[in-house]
């Protein structure tokens, strides 16, 4: 079980704008890498390592290396989960998913920062438990 530290941020206007920009750029990174991987998947398969390196080098200057790594690692995790679900698709779905409408695995969905209510973001220099 993971320990969770919940903080309530009360930023001033400048900090609020910086956080919004950081969240927006993080969502943009997620959507870009997910789009490229999805196009590769539909055409010939996904190379997770090369897309990771490409987008990490491109975005680490904008949002910082730790944030770029977190976003890309989570995207890798979702794609690996998708591939493992594809391999196991001959088995019946879990009872927890029966009746929920889950019929087949789908690649990761895009993030919508404008409609998001809860955002989890690991910032460089913040303690994690």
Q: What is the pLDDT of residues 49-86, one digit of tens each?
A: 888 888 889 888 888 889 999 988 888 888 888 888 87
How many domains does one find in the chain? 1
pTM, two decimal places: 0.63
Mean pLDDT of the chain: 75
Q: Supply the angle between the helices 48-63 and 65-87 in degrees, to the nearest 10.
A: 150
Tell me, yes or no, whether 121 lies in a domain: no
Q: Supply the angle between the helices 13-43 and 48-63 in degrees, to the nearest 10.
A: 160
> Given this model, what pLDDT does residue 111 score?
53
Tell me, yes or no, whether 110 lies in a domain: no
> Given this model, what pLDDT does residue 5 score?
83
> Given this model, what pLDDT does residue 92 score?
45
The domain of 39 spans 18-87
- Which residues make Cβ contacts (< 8 Å) with residue 42, sequence separation at least 6? none
Tell me, yes or no, whether 46 lies in a domain: yes
pLDDT above 60: residue 104: no
């Amino acid at each position: 079980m993971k320990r969770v530290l919940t903080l309530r941020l009360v930023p001033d206007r400048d900090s609020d704008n910086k956080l919004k920009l950081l969240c927006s750029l993080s969502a943009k990174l997620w959507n870009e890498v997910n789009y490229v991987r999805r196009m590769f998947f539909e055409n010939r398969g996904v190379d997770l390592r090369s897309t990771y390196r490409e987008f990490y080098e491109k975005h680490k200057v904008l949002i910082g290396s730790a944030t770029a790594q977190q976003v890309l690692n989570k995207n890798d995790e979702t794609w690996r989960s998708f591939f493992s679900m594809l391999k196991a698709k001959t088995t019946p779905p879990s009872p927890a998913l029966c009746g929920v409408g889950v019929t087949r695995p789908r690649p990761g969905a895009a993030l919508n920062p404008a409609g998001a209510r809860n955002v989890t973001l690991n910032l460089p220099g913040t303690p994690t438990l």
